[in-house]
Amino acid sequence: MTATDLVHRPLGGARVLVAEGDADDSVVLTAVLRLNGFDACEARTAEDALKAASDTRPAVLMVDLDLPDLDGCALIRRVRRLPDPPAVVVVTGHTAESVRRAALAAGASAFLLKPADPIELTKLVGQLSEEQLGRKTG
């Protein structure tokens, strides 16, 4: 599969919320998702992400663990308590295995290291979106 294949793959506009404190990383992640057919929006703080997740009910939430106002794992735990919570993908620069385990224990569905490969990211978000849709309709 090439990047061109992903651009033309119909993904149904699944909603994805990107919770990323770094403005540059947020813009890049959101642009990659939009380029590949997702309805992506941004939140720069955990509080904004929690409100957006509650209001817009995304299929997937992408979380950086270093948000300015709350630890990413704490955000994941709070989002998991929402009705019909989204799948959660952690995208972080932390390489320690203990960090990965903590994120997964908090409720993350997947863990990617920065910089995330755009093709891997798109495939993962597409797969999780489809699983979320199946869970809602099945």
pLDDT tens over the chain, length 138 residues: 444 444 444 456 899 999 999 999 999 999 999 999 999 999 999 999 999 999 999 999 999 999 999 999 999 999 999 999 999 999 999 999 999 999 999 999 999 999 999 999 999 999 999 999 887 655
pTM (two decimals): 0.89
* Domains along the sequence of the chain with CATH: 3-132 (3.40.50.2300)
Residue 77 DSSP label = H
Does the bond joining 115 to the residue before it have cis omega, within 30 degrees of 0? yes
Question: What integer pLDDT is reported at residue 7 of this predicted model?
Answer: 44
Question: What integer pLDDT is reported at residue 12 of this predicted model?
Answer: 62
Burial 2-12 (b: 16+ CB within 10 A, else e): eeeebeeeebe
